[in-house]
Amino acid sequence: MSKIDLNQYMNQPDIQPIQVMNEKGEIVNQDLFPDLTDDQLVDLFKKMVWERVLDERSTKLNRQGRLGFYAPTAGEEASEMGTTYAMDKNDFLLPAYRDIPQLIQHGLPMYKAFLWSIGHYMGGQIPEDVQAVPPQIVVASASVQTAGVGLGLKKNGSTNVAYMYTGDGGTSEGDFYEGINFAGVYKVPAVFFVQNNGYAISVPRKHQTAAKSLAQKGVAVGIPGIQVDGMDALAVYTVAKAAREWASQGNGPVVVETLTYRYGPHTLSGDDPRRYRTADQEENWHEKDPLIRFRTYLDHKGLWNEDMEKDWEAQVNKEIDEAIEKAENAPKQTVADFYKLTYSQTPASIQKKIDELEKEEN
């Protein structure tokens, strides 16, 4: 018989997801209803429809060979647009590869997002007035950088906030922990969004960690961790807004876990979700669709209808048509370009290679 009963040390935080609007579009927590006008509510919903249309079109464009790497986002509209809607234009965004819609909403022109997918350097050229870096491929690598951006904002006396996104699998990475820990030590303005869609490619969330929630990872570094129904745009917005205020006011970083689901595969590069998910499960999550419940809510309030949605979808499709055309007209890349972009101050030995290549071209 052990002298110490470890059961008493097994007390994990009992974190419950925050919900404002249920699956039927009914407000179940009026106290947490966000401070948004009717126009803003419609605006937030329109962004979610925009994201769904962008996902459908991106998938088609990928199938047609007009786009390259693409990680589907359908199902995550509340999580992605709800969080983005709480951001200030001058907040700094460190997106992951699935976070293209947030990046576009933060100011990256859509055609550049398409160029990033196609694999063109112009896709990474973030405009000067957009506070962001290109999407991160190495999972959770942005976490430690987010701590750095947060520290930089703090040193510059800014009240803006740094944001990073990762998935449920990303919370197992060492960098995820190091990032939230550094951010906590320096008490920087940063929010770490964990979009928990249940799977990291084929590996279910329960195989990532024995922790009861991902939000509670904040406990390990002494910062708040909060969990929200990621299919409920109103709850996501309320939580994201609270996290932003907390961070912006000098209280340090926050971990926000959104419980969500991706309807599509991990990426369009050959993943087949039917190998690891059941039709029943997918059906169940479709009933929680963030668009359906928000649409129902707005419809009941007389703020939205089918015609409005059709008009809006047509507008979004037009925007996409123009963006893909612009992306396809980008100049062809050359090896000389790649040499030039490798260094800001080109070493003489590399300049020699650039000169040789340019001589060949002429």
Partner 1 sequence: MAKLTMIKAINQALDQELKRDKRVLVFGEDVGRNGGVFRATDGLQKENGEDQVFDTPLAESGIIGLAAGLAYQGFRPVPEIQFFGFLYEAMDEVAAQIARQHYRTGGVQNMPVTIRSAFGGGVHTPEMHEDNLEGLVAQIPGLRVVIPSSPYDAKGLLISSIRCDDPVVFLEHMKLYRSMREEVPEQEYTIPLDKADVKREGSDITLVSYGYMVQECLKAADELEQDGISAEVVDLRTVSPIDEDTILESVKKTGKVIVVQEAQDQAGVGGQVSSIIAEKAILSLDAPVARISAPDSVYAFSAAEEDWMPNKADIVKKAKEIVNF
Per CB under 8 A, residues contacting partner 1 are 92, 121-126, 128, 133-134, 138, 141, 143-153, 155-156, 162, 174-175, 178-179, 181-182, 185, 338, 340-345, 347-350
Report, in Å, the least distance between residue 329 CB and partner 1: 16
Pick the catalytic residue: 98, 262, 293, 295? 262
State the minimum distance, in angstroms, from the CB of residue 141 to partner 1: 6
Q: For partner 1, which is the closer residue by CB, 29 or 145?
A: 145
Q: To the nearest whole angstrom, how small is the minimum distance from the Cβ of residue 302 to partner 1?
A: 45
Nearer to partner 1 (CB atom), residue 179 or residue 230: 179
In the residue annotation, 244 being an active-site residue is answered as no
Phi, psi dihedral angles at 117 (to 5 degrees): -65, -40
Q: Under a CB-based contact definition with an 8 Å cutoff, are residues 194 and 172 in contact?
A: no
Q: Structure tokens of 275?
A: 């190998």
Under DSSP, is residue 36 helix (H, G, I), strand (E, B) or coil? Answer: coil
- Catalytic residue, candidates 52, 120, 244, 266: 266
Residue 262 known to be catalytic: yes
- Smaller CB distance to partner 1: residue 149 or 234? 149
Residue with structure tokens 């912006």? 248
How far is the C-alpha of 249 from the C-alpha of 245, rounded, in Å? 6
Contacts of 262 (CB under 8 A, 6+ apart): 72, 73, 74, 75, 76, 98, 197, 199
Using alpha carbons only, give the angle 318, 320, 321 rounded to the nearest 5 degrees: 65
Active site residue 276: yes
Q: Which of 49, 27, 43, 47 is nearest to 306 (CA)?
A: 49
Closest CB 82 distance from partner 1, rounded Å:
25
Question: What's the rounded Cα separation, in Å, for the pair 284 and 273?
Answer: 15
Closest to partner 1 by CB, 147 vs 256, is 147
Task: Pick the catalytic residue from 177, 186, 276, 277.
Answer: 276
Residue 4, amino acid: I
The catalytic site residues sit at 262, 266, 276
